[in-house]
Amino acid sequence: MDSKNRTYLECERQWVFALLIFVGGFYGSYTYLLRGGVFCNAQTANFVLFAIELGNFRWARAAYYLIPMTAYMMGAFVSEAISLKLTRIKFLRWETILVGIEILFIAALGFVPDSAPFQISQVAINFICSMQYNPFRQAEVVPMATTFCTNHVRQVGIHLYHFLSKKDSPFLRRSLKHLGMLAMFVLGGVIGVFCCNAFAGRAIWFAALPMLFLFIDLLRADRKGPARHPAARALAN
């Protein structure tokens, strides 16, 4: 079926992924600036810092980076375990439930005092970032990451090359989609810096605003039920 004529679930929409990666950029600024200089979105940088500390024989500092990395791994473990057994509760899809859980985490983290151990926020945010990344994998059949940038940078380069060599506009559109995701991540990070500077630990509550908007939209879509393309209904009959 032509992708232009395909009907997608609401949780597969491109704008949903753009909003999620915006929040991912916000999380990155928040944890790096206010919660111990670690990264929650992806773990490559944490592994680099872990290796540096090992190379310098600073065992305690190396162990410090194991905390966010382990939390990220456990988030993937829990998300996968749940998603394989639970696709929905009544009319609610797992993706909608997960966004609701993430909002609750954000609300709770705003009450954590700045004097509290950084590991509380590190574990929570790494855990929910990993849980989010696991089910949100494709935006309108295009593989998309919602918490980190590396693959988007790669995809921009790959599809830009194919567009220039083949003069095929779908490659340009695909490249621009990934470029848009990168722009949203950066925008989320920039706004995160402003909020952190102004509100310190309470800044995390600003991430709840786009997530709440997303939750309401997904909830409304779940109540309506999955939309189906006429061709799909014909095949079902």
In the chain, domain spans: 11-225
This prediction's pTM: 0.88
Task: Check residue 42 and give its pLDDT.
Answer: 82
Three-state SS annotation for the chain: CCHHHCCCCHHHCHHHHHHHHHHHHHHHHHHHHHCCCCCCCCCHHHHHHHHHHHHCCCHHHHHHHHHHHHHHHHHHHHHHHHHHHCCEECCEEHHHHHHHHHHHHHHHHCCCCCCCCHHHHHHHHHHHHHHHHCCCCEECCEECCCCCCHHHHHHHHHHHHHHHHHCCHHHHHHHHHHHHHHHHHHHHHHHHHHHHHHHHHHHHHHHHHHHHHHHHHHHHHHHHCCCCCHHHHHHHC
Task: Check residue 4 and give its pLDDT.
Answer: 54
- The verdict on domain 11-225 having CATH code 1.20.1250 is yes
Per-residue pLDDT of the chain (237 residues; tens, 9 = 90+): 445 556 888 998 999 999 999 999 999 999 999 999 888 888 888 999 999 999 999 999 999 999 999 999 999 999 888 887 777 778 889 999 999 999 999 999 999 999 999 999 999 999 999 998 888 988 988 888 898 899 999 999 999 999 999 888 889 999 999 999 999 999 999 999 999 999 999 999 999 999 999 999 999 999 887 544 333 333 233
Task: Check residue 134 and give its pLDDT.
Answer: 84
